[in-house]
């Protein structure tokens, strides 16, 4: 009998009805830690095999670069960002707790509430975007079939998609892993059929003729790819590896996480670039409705299967996001069962989806603004977390992750100051003119001689890379003594004697 990566045996899972998961922020006991790093391939592959990956081709061309530049920026952004997820996933097998609990080792038990809130905002934002995209795709397909694609269709589609997502998030890993298996199989097969059906829309001469852009535009596309892929998952990366045994290979955890997450996006990106580069009008349509625009290329008989693959792929990602957002909300200080936290996030997700579907005029502008704005503090958090993990020589003291007066401290100022400083610098080096509520950003571009908010560096979004590098180097240079002091302390009381913070 094999085991799921989350410790749920296949046979047991298949032989009983799904139950609401009771695990919240607690550490997974040794008896429940099962599986091998290889099993991490499936949840990461299933979470990222979505036709939305095709839309990123148009997003990349939006920076005004050539096919080769877009391919290089996309491939590099996808691999590097998911490699960061692989490194953070190592913390999961070393501590067997959710990502935003393990983050307490770097930020302190209650000091970690600040990055936990940011993580919660990012995951809620992602599940909202995915739900809205699934709703718009359904309406577009129904309209193309003549079944009506107006407000009523959108409302009904939103209710169905939201129900699937919320139920999966509330029930937890047992149901999620069952759904993920079927979602992976169905979306994988139907996505290949889609590729075959629209392959004749590719015109290499048109794609190859696209002019090259500046280095600044290439960097902007690279950063966008990083924030759209791995940096959108890095704050939840250990959630999927925490059920592995402590002696699991760290290289295996990194490798299988990265490979599983990268495989589908890389293939879809290449095909998406070829499609979008062959038809400028398609790129413009994708900016307004990414999934729906891709449906317009299909024969009528495949529209319903395409709607199924689009919705299932997006729901698969949204379900995992709502699960992790619930854990992040608990880490931020909410005292409630995990399933109630997921339900609350579901309500917020529905409200955000209503805004995107019925009121937002420019999806791509809002989407890029959201990714870049939250991508900066998440990049800073990732820099701190990665440096902290690199400096540690021992596994986490699990009890002290929940004890404000333990070895990790309560509210240590240094990591918080590093994060805030890196975020402040990062926001000063990004711009989001397409989202009017974010025009305050980019305040450092002029003082640093980078041409201001309209100069050549305005859309390079250097702030994401800057925040990651500053936080990593700052923690690496200042955190060694603190970590050595932590690891020199004698073990504290058993976990049973520790109150939940």
pLDDT along the chain (501 residues), means of 10: 33 51 68 84 82 87 94 97 96 89 95 94 88 86 82 90 81 65 77 88 93 94 92 89 88 95 93 91 79 83 85 81 86 84 89 86 71 89 96 90 92 95 96 78 95 90 95 95 90 58 55
- Minimal CA–CA distance to 46: which of 260, 305, 229? 260
CA atoms of 387 and 49, how far apart (whole Å):
30
Domains in the chain and their CATH numbers?
10-363 (1.10.4160.10)
Classified as helix, coil or strand, 6 is coil
Going through 139-218 in order, the beta strands assigned E by DSSP cover none
Residue 33 neighbours by CB under 8 Å, 6+ apart: 7, 96, 243, 244, 245, 246
* CB neighbour class for 143 (10 Å; exposed up to 12, middle 13-18, buried from 19): middle
How far is residue 86 from each of residues 82, 236, 239, 269, 387, measured CA to CA in Å? 6, 11, 12, 21, 14
- Minimal CA–CA distance to 404: which of 115, 108, 101, 114? 108
What pLDDT does 17 receive?
A: 60
Exposure class string for 14-41: b at 16+ Cβ within 10 A, else e? eeeebeebebbbbbbeeeebbbbbbbbb
Helix axes 363-391 and 215-228, enclosed angle (nearest 10): 80
CA atoms of 52 and 55, how far apart (whole Å):
5
Token pair belonging to 6: 């989350």
Each residue's pLDDT tens digit, 68-116:
999 999 999 999 999 999 999 999 988 888 899 999 999 999 999 999 9
**Cα dihedral 105→106→108→111 (10° resolution):** -140
Contact 132, 356 (CB under 8 A): yes
How far is residue 213 from each of residues 62, 64, 66, 75, measured CA to CA in Å? 11, 6, 7, 17
Classified as helix, coil or strand, 3 is strand
Residue 448 neighbours by CB under 8 Å, 6+ apart: 429
DSSP states of 75-132 as a string? HHHHHHHHHHHHHHHHHHHHH-S-HHHHTHHHH-TTTTHHHHHHHHHHHHHHHHHHHH
What pLDDT does 417 receive?
A: 96
CA atoms of 363 and 355, how far apart (whole Å):
11
What pLDDT does 357 receive?
A: 87
What pLDDT does 175 receive?
A: 66
Token pair belonging to 261: 């997450």
Residue 69 neighbours by CB under 8 Å, 6+ apart: 212, 213, 217, 218, 221
pTM beyond 0.75, yes or no: yes
CA atoms of 208 and 190, how far apart (whole Å):
28
What pLDDT does 497 receive?
A: 47
* Helices and strands (DSSP H and E) totals, the chain: 20, 0
């Amino acid at each position: 009998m094999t085991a799921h990566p989350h410790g749920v045996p296949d046979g047991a899972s298949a032989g009983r009805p799904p139950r609401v998961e009771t695990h919240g922020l607690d550490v997974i006991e040794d008896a429940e830690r099962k599986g091998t790093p290889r099993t991490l391939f499936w949840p990461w592959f299933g979470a990222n095999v979505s036709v939305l990956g095709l839309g990123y081709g148009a997003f990349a061309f939006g920076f005004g670069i050539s096919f080769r530049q877009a391919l290089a920026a996309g491939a590099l952004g996808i691999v590097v960002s998911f490699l960061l997820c692989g490194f953070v996933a190592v913390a999961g097998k070393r501590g067997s707790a959710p990502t935003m609990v393990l983050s307490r080792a770097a930020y302190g038990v209650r000091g970690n509430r600040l990055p936990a809130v940011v993580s919660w905002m990012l995951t809620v934002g992602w599940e909202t975007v995915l739900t809205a995209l699934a709703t718009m795709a359904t309406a577009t397909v129904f309209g193309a079939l003549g079944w009506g694609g107006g407000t009523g269709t959108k409302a009904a589609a939103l209710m169905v998609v939201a129900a699937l997502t919320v139920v999966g998030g509330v029930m937890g890993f047992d149901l999620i892993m069952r759904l993920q298996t079927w979602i992976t199989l169905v979306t994988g097969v139907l996505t290949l059929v889609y590729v075959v059906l629209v392959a004749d829309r590719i015109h290499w001469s048109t794609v190859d003729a696209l002019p090259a852009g500046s280095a600044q535009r290439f960097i902007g596309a690279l950063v966008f790819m990083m924030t759209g892929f791995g940096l959108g998952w890095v704050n939840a990366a250990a959630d999927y590896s925490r059920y592995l045994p402590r002696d699991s290979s760290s290289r295996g955890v990194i490798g299988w996480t990265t490979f599983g997450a990268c495989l589908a996006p890389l293939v879809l990106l290449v095909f998406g670039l070829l499609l979008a580069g062959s038809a400028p009008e398609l790129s413009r349509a994708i900016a307004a409705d990414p999934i729906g625009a891709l449906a317009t290329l299909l024969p009528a008989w495949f529209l319903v299967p395409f709607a199924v693959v689009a919705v299932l792929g997006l729901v698969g990602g949204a379900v995992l996001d709502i699960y992790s957002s619930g854990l992040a909300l608990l880490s931020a200080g909410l005292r409630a069962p995990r399933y109630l936290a997921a339900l609350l996030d579901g309500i917020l997700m529905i409200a955000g989806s209503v805004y995107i579907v019925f009121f937002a005029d420019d999806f791509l502008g809002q989407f890029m603004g959201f990714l870049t704005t939250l991508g900066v503090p998440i990049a800073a958090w990732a820099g701190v977390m990665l440096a902290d993990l690199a400096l540690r020589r021992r596994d986490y003291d699990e009890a002290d992750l929940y004890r404000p007066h333990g070895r990790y401290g309560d509210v240590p100022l240094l990591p918080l100051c590093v994060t805030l400083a890196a975020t402040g610098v990062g926001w000063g080096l990004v711009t989001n003119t397409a989202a009017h509520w974010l025009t305050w950003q980019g305040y450092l571009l002029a003082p640093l001689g980078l041409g201001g908010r309209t100069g050549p560096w305005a859309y390079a979004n250097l702030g994401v890379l800057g925040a990651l590098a500053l936080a990593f180097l700052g923690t690496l240079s200042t955190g060694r003594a603190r970590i050595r002091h932590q690891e020199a302390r004698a073990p504290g009381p058993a976990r049973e004697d520790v109150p939940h913070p």
